[in-house]
Amino acid sequence: MAQDINVPKYKMSPATKTVVWVCALVGLLTFLFGIYNNPERVWYSYLTSFFYFTSLSLCGLFFVAINHITNAGWSVNLRRVPEAFTAFLPYVLVGAIVLIIGADFIYPWLNPEIVAVDTLIQKKVSYLNEGFFIFRVIAFILLWLLFAKKIVGNSLKQDETGDVNLTHKNLALSVGFIVVFALSYSLFSVDTLMSVDPHWFSTIFGVYAFAGLFQSGLAMMILFILALKAGYLKSFINDDHIHDMGKFLFGFTIFYAYIAFSQYLLIWYANLPEETIFYIHRSHGGWEWVSLSLLFGKFIIPFLALAPAWAKKKAGHLKVVCVWVLIMQYVDFYWLVYPNLHTNTNGMFPETPIFNFYEIGIFLGFLGLFLFAVNKFLEKNSLIPIKDPRLHESMHHHL
Amino acid sequence: MSKYVSGVVGFIEDDHKLLAAAKKTYAAGYREFDTISPFPIHGMDAAMGLGRSAIPWVTFFAGLTGCSFGLWFTWWTSAVNYPVNVGGKPFMSLPAFIPILFELTILFGALSSVGAMFILNGLPKVKPPVIDPDLTCSKFALFIPETETGYSPEKAESHLKSIGATDIRRVAEF
């Protein structure tokens, strides 16, 4: 059966190429300009975008893994899109090394002068120190790269050999990855995002970051899938695939709200000063509007916009919602990182929110690299896993 | 209980033929007919020209009602009828009430959906006449009721014959 399926070969359009290079160039220029003119600001911006695209890339591998674990047949035709996301992981490794270079500008616990007078940070030094931080960040990314190489590599190998055993191997690998991912991504988010304010802690922080990862990752996947459905994969992706992805996005929009509120409720109830400071910072001086925008923009608006059945199927509508969710995901990480700018640990209220070309430029830079990595992967490999044993299930996917 | 409706039933060999038969029956202008199968058939709703169910609307508005009721009830109990100072928080503390609002939204939405499903399906039916016991395990049938516009048993029989029914009987269902 597999032989008579003719899968079109993907080619990056000239327009995409232009966008990729312009974005990457803008990012590089913003970065270089910022390094000389406003290094602290540009490193904050770098951290936000770095974490954003690391999460998107990982979401690809996570999505592939849960589909292997659940023996899902319906998603086989879509699988190359999340697999392509993992092609960004090598860039994440380079990005992390760059982040480590600029870490002094971001993390107050790396500054001996601050640590010397700060008892709370002194108590955490055995975990929050330069050597261990570098080791963890690099080790986590290498682990992800290893799993991505194995899981996606098996999938690509199957395109050639059609060996069913590769599917069974991927099941075991995926179970391993889910365990590794849960631990490593939690700690990664704690190390890179939460420790920007080393006094504050929230035990649900890793889950919060994951909720954002999956919501935004699904939105990005849907955008790619819709683009492929409109052209290359017209006969391979049907409305029910889109409907299922829409339901996924809808479900994990609710999941995000659930986790975000859980974090808020417990901190509000317990009323411990070290914990409430996080929300106090984010409910004054203009930040209250950013906080409220998360409630509405990341939950209520996408929830209502995706609630009816037609909304999860209609390409035009879904695209707008996905772009919206992706924008709100940036606002979320911005909201986590930026209130600490210039006010690290001295207990003062944050400056009013600032947002201009420093944030947009760096974001575009990462976006360019991400699009480049994903497009290159799709160009290099078959657009659907042509010899997957469950391919026929996906071909005739019907709700 | 609801009264029974008589009509004509035609037995069809398998699910694929039943799907095609439903499409032809709809195209021939029948709107009230029903298909009977031991298992759900993909695409049957569209083939029979059935619109979307009204249940999502019931769920949505019942959920809103539950949410509003929860808000009113927590406010009334905690801030009006029996105010108790808990940890120095205001009597009307929305974050503390959200879980209750959420639960009541789910409770109202879920129970109303099940209730609406029963009403819309006309359930429960007490001892409905059985067309053929095998329709719950191995047979497939298409039923044209007497309530159909321009119904006549002869016309229905000839239509069922034309769509390939193997066995045609006049029966009472519902």
Gyration radius of chain A over CA positions: 21
What's the structural domain count of chain B? 2
How far, in Å, CA of B170 to CA of B51, rounded?
Answer: 28
Domain match, B110 and B154 both: no
Q: Say which residue the tokens 């879980």 belong to.
A: B99
Instruction: Answer whether residue A3 is part of any domain.
Output: no
Mean pLDDT of A150-163: 92
Nearest CB to A261; choose among B42, B56, B98: B98
Vertex A340, ends A335 and A344: CA angle to 5°? 165
How far, in Å, CA of A47 to CA of A179, rounded?
Answer: 25
Domain match, B40 and B72 both: no
**What is the per-residue pLDDT for B17?**
85
Domain match, B83 and B105 both: yes
Q: Percent of chain A beyond pLDDT 90?
A: 75
Q: What is the pLDDT of residues B37-70, one digit of tens each?
A: 898 888 888 888 888 888 999 999 999 999 999 9
Helices (H), A162-272: 165-192, 205-230, 239-270
Interface test with A, best of B15, B16, B42 (most A CBs within 10 A): B42
Domain match, B39 and B60 both: no
- Partner-chain contact B99 A265, CB within 8 Å: yes
**What is the per-residue pLDDT for A4?**
62
What's the structural domain count of chain A? 1
Single residue among B121, B139, B155 that ends a domain in this structure: B121
DSSP-derived secondary structure letter, A295 = I
pLDDT at A347 over 70: no
How many angstroms separate the most distant Cα atoms in chain B? 79
- Partner-chain contact A261 B43, CB within 8 Å: no
- Partner-chain contact A269 B96, CB within 8 Å: yes
Min Cα–Cα distance to chain B from A160, Å: 33
Please count the other Cβ atoms lying within 10 Å of the Cβ belonging to residue B1.
Answer: 9
pLDDT at A55 over 70: yes
Single residue among B99, B121, B143 that ends a domain in this structure: B121
How far, in Å, CA of A295 to CA of A40, rounded?
Answer: 28
Residues present in chain A in total? 399
Domain limits for position A161: 23-395
How many angstroms separate the most distant Cα atoms in chain A? 71
**What is the per-residue pLDDT for B105?**
95
Chain B interface, Cβ < 8 Å to A? 42-43, 52, 56, 60, 87, 95-96, 98-99
How far, in Å, CA of B174 to CA of B171, rounded?
Answer: 10
Instruction: Answer whether residue A9 is part of any domain.
Output: no
Domain match, B154 and B69 both: no
**What is the per-residue pLDDT for A292?**
94
Contacts with A269 from chain B: Cβ below 8 Å: 87, 95-96
Domain match, B98 and B15 both: no
Mean pLDDT of A124-144: 94
- Partner-chain contact A271 B87, CB within 8 Å: yes
Q: Say which residue the tokens 């070969």 belong to.
A: A9
Min Cα–Cα distance to chain B from A247, Å: 15
**What is the per-residue pLDDT for B174?**
54
Min Cα–Cα distance to chain B from A248, Å: 18
**What is the per-residue pLDDT for A345?**
52
Peptide bond into B124 cis (omega under 30): yes
Domain match, B106 and B68 both: yes
- The contacts of residue A359 (CB under 8 Å, 6+ apart) are A45, A48, A49, A334
Domain match, B44 and B72 both: no
- The contacts of residue A47 (CB under 8 Å, 6+ apart) are A99, A106, A192, A193, A196, A337
**CB-neighbour burial class of residue A322 (10 A; exposed 0-12, middle 13-18, buried 19+):** buried
- Partner-chain contact B42 A398, CB within 8 Å: yes
Domain match, B116 and B136 both: no
DSSP-derived secondary structure letter, A3 = G
Does the interface ipTM go beyond 0.85?
A: no
Instruction: Answer whether residue A5 is part of any domain.
Output: no
Nearest CB to A309; choose among B42, B52, B87: B52
Gyration radius of chain B over CA positions: 25
Contacts with B96 from chain A: Cβ below 8 Å: 265, 269
Q: What is the pLDDT of residues A209-262, one digit of tens each?
A: 999 999 999 999 999 999 999 988 888 998 999 999 999 999 999 999 999 999
- Partner-chain contact B52 A265, CB within 8 Å: no
**Which H/E stretch holds residue B143?**
strand B140-145
Min Cα–Cα distance to chain B from A68, Å: 25
Domain match, B74 and B33 both: no
**Which H/E stretch holds residue B10?**
strand B5-12
Beta bridge partners of B140: B12
Closest CA to A281 of A347, A235, A331, A333: A347
**What is the per-residue pLDDT for A18?**
94
Domain match, B11 and B42 both: yes
Higher pLDDT, A362 or B44: A362
Instruction: Answer whether residue A8 is part of any domain.
Output: no
Instruction: Answer whether residue A12 is part of any domain.
Output: no
Phi, psi for residue B10 in degrees, rounded to 5: -120, 130
Per-residue pLDDT of chain B (174 residues; tens, 9 = 90+): 356 778 888 888 888 888 888 888 888 888 888 888 898 888 888 888 888 888 999 999 999 999 999 999 999 999 999 999 988 889 999 999 999 999 999 999 999 999 999 998 888 877 777 788 888 888 888 888 888 787 887 877 788 888 888 888 877 765
Instruction: Answer whether residue A347 is part of any domain.
Output: yes
Dihedral sign for Cα atoms in the order B14, B19, B20, B21: positive
Mean pLDDT is highest, among A146-155, A283-292, B135-144, B162-171, for A146-155
pLDDT at A360 over 60: yes
Give the three-class secondary structure for B5: strand
Average confidence score pLDDT of chain A = 92
pLDDT at A363 over 50: yes
Instruction: Answer whether residue A13 is part of any domain.
Output: no
**Between chain A and chain B, how many beta carbons pairs sit less than 8 Å apart?**
18
How far, in Å, CA of A172 to CA of A170, rounded?
Answer: 5
Domain limits for position B74: 55-121
**8 A C-beta contact, residue A12 and residue A364:** no
pLDDT at A2 over 50: no
Contacts with A398 from chain B: Cβ below 8 Å: 42-43
Q: What is the pLDDT of residues A13-34, one digit of tens each?
A: 899 999 999 999 999 999 999 9
Domain match, B84 and B136 both: no
Single residue among B104, B121, B138 that ends a domain in this structure: B121
